[in-house]
Amino acid sequence: MNFLRSFPCVPLAAPTTSAQTGLRTLSSSAVVCGRDKYFKISKYARPIDTTVYQAGDDVPRQTIPADGHKYPKYAYEPMFFKRQNRGLYAGLQRRASNLCSESGNKTKSFHLPNVVKAKLWSETLNKLVCTRVSTTLLRNVDREGGIDNYLLKEKPARVKTIGIKGWQLKYDILKQKELNERSQGSDVPIYHILESGKKITATKEKLLELLFPYVYRENYEPISQKSYLRDHSWLTMEELVVKLEERGFDFSEITV
C-alpha cells in the first residue's frame, strides 16, 4: 500500500494508457486509502421508524419520549459494538479472525480498533469536542481539514460511518451554521425572523417564559409551570411568536 501512496496523483482522464498499463487500478487504490469502510454497518443496521405522526393517529407501541427527540434519527446505528455510539470510530468495529494451529484447531481472536482519546476543535461550534476516536478518524479529519468538514461531507459512506455521536455533532454544527448565517451583521444571535422583517433575539425557552403569564391569566384555575410546559414546550418558534402576537405582546425588547 505504501508504495502506491508514493505514486504522484495520476490523472484519471487517460483512457489510452489506462487500459494497457493498469493505471486505473493504481489511481483507484490511492483513493481506497481514505475510503470509509461502511459495508458492515449498512448490513447490520436496523431500519428506523420514519412515520410522521399526527394528532388523531393511533398510539404506537413505542414509548413517547417525555421531552421529544432532541436529534434526528440515525439510520445506520449498528446492532453491536455499541461503544461506537459514544465516540467517533469512523465505522471501525471489532473484527474477528481465527488463529489456526498446525493441526487445524481454530481459536477465535478479536481485534479492536485503535481507539484514543482526543480533543478536536470545531470551528463552527467554537469549542473543543472531547471524545474517544479511532486513529483512522484522526487521519480522515486531517485529510478533510477539520472535524466540521469531516462530519458535513454528504457522501453516503461518510453518513454511514460517522456514527450516532458524529450524527448528533453534525446536527449541532448545522444548527449553529444556520444561526450564524441568520445573525450575520448583528451583535446578538438572532433566533427567528418575523414576516415583517424584524429579528427575534430571544431563545425558544425565553419565549415560553414570556407566554406563561398570558396563559396563566387565561386559565380559570391556576396552572403549574410543569403542566404549562407539557402543553406548550413542543410548539415551534413560529407558533410561539404567533401566540404572543395574538395576545398583543410587545416585541420591541426582544427584536432588533
Of 78 and 166, nearer to another protein (C-beta) is 166
Of 176 and 255, nearer to another protein (C-beta) is 176
Residue 60 beta carbon to another protein: minimum distance, rounded to whole angstroms: 7
Of 75 and 194, nearer to another protein (C-beta) is 75
- The H or E element spanning position 40 is helix 39-44
Of 55 and 96, nearer to another protein (C-beta) is 55
State how far the Cα of 21 lies from the Cα of 201, in Å rounded to an integer: 63
Residue 160 beta carbon to another protein: minimum distance, rounded to whole angstroms: 14
Residue 86 beta carbon to another protein: minimum distance, rounded to whole angstroms: 20
Of 38 and 167, nearer to another protein (C-beta) is 167
Of 95 and 175, nearer to another protein (C-beta) is 175
Residue 102 beta carbon to another protein: minimum distance, rounded to whole angstroms: 42
DSSP assignment of 64-80 equals PPTT--SSPPPTT-BSS
**Phi first, then psi: what are they for 177, rounded to 5°?**
-65, -45
- At residue 47's C-alpha, the angle toward residues 42 and 51, to 5°, is 145
Q: Please give the grid coordinates belonging to residue 199.
A: 429579528
Is the distance from CB of 150 to CB of 90 less than 8 angstroms? no
Residue 151 beta carbon to another protein: minimum distance, rounded to whole angstroms: 10
Residue 101 beta carbon to another protein: minimum distance, rounded to whole angstroms: 37
Q: How many residues does the chain have?
A: 256
DSSP assignment of 130-173 equals EEEEEHHHHHHHHHHTSHHHHHH---HHHHHHSHHHHHHHHHHH
Residue 73 beta carbon to another protein: minimum distance, rounded to whole angstroms: 5
Three-state helix/strand/coil letters over 178-229: HHHHHCCCCCCCCCEECCCCCEECCCHHHHHHHHHHHHHHHCCCCCCHHHHH
Of 95 and 178, nearer to another protein (C-beta) is 178
Contacts with another protein, residue ranges (CB under 8 A): 52-60, 62, 64-73, 152, 154, 167, 170-171, 174-175, 177-178, 230-231, 234
